[in-house]
Amino acid sequence: MTNCDVLEMAIHTTECTKRMVMKARGMRLHPVLLFMTIALSAVLLSCSGNDKSPADMAAEAAKVYYDHLVAERYADYVSGLSGTDNIPASYREQLVVNAKQFVAEQRKEHGGISTVNIVRATADSVNHTADVFLQLCFGDSTREEIVVPMVENGGRWLLR
């Protein structure tokens, strides 16, 4: 249910409640009842957000990073690695080379990675970590499930 659906439902509920009360009170809406209907509408709206769980957010981030790898955007993939914010350029370049080598090896062995799918994820909200299970689908029709450890840092999920 989207926020728009809930908003529409809350508005409809508020309007129906006002009509019933106005009929019962001779077209005069009681202020307390008006406040209660507005409060109920606000509660419905606040509970309807599309808030994703930490596991879902970690899974989506892991998929994005692996999609970067598949698309050969190695620098974007490396930027998703935890602890790479303040590393020397030479070390960052070595990480890019490692990613290129990994993709080349997968291309040689399996015809490359064609798609990446999220299987499931578990999160530890106390330690701000998650394990994301991704399925790599290869060009030769083989599939492999991998575990991608993630860590949350400043509201951003990164590869550990």
User: Can you give the pTM of this predicted structure?
Assistant: 0.68
d(CA 20, CA 50): 31
- Looking at the chain, the whole-number percentage of residues with pLDDT higher than 90 is 67
The confidence band for 5, taking pLDDT boundaries of 50, 70 and 90, is very low
The confidence band for 51, taking pLDDT boundaries of 50, 70 and 90, is confident
Structure tokens at 10: 């809350």
pLDDT of 7 above 50? no
Query: How many secondary structure helices (H) and strands (E) does the chain include?
Result: 5, 4
Structure tokens at 78: 């490396």
Handedness of CA 148, 143, 56, 77 (dihedral sign): positive
Return the residue matching tokens 């955007």: 73
**What is the per-residue pLDDT across 71-130, written as a single tens digit (0 to 9) for each?**
999 999 999 999 998 999 999 999 999 999 999 999 999 999 999 999 999 999 999 999
How far is C-alpha 110 from the chain's CA centre? 29
Supply the pLDDT for residue 28: 56
Supply the pLDDT for residue 149: 98
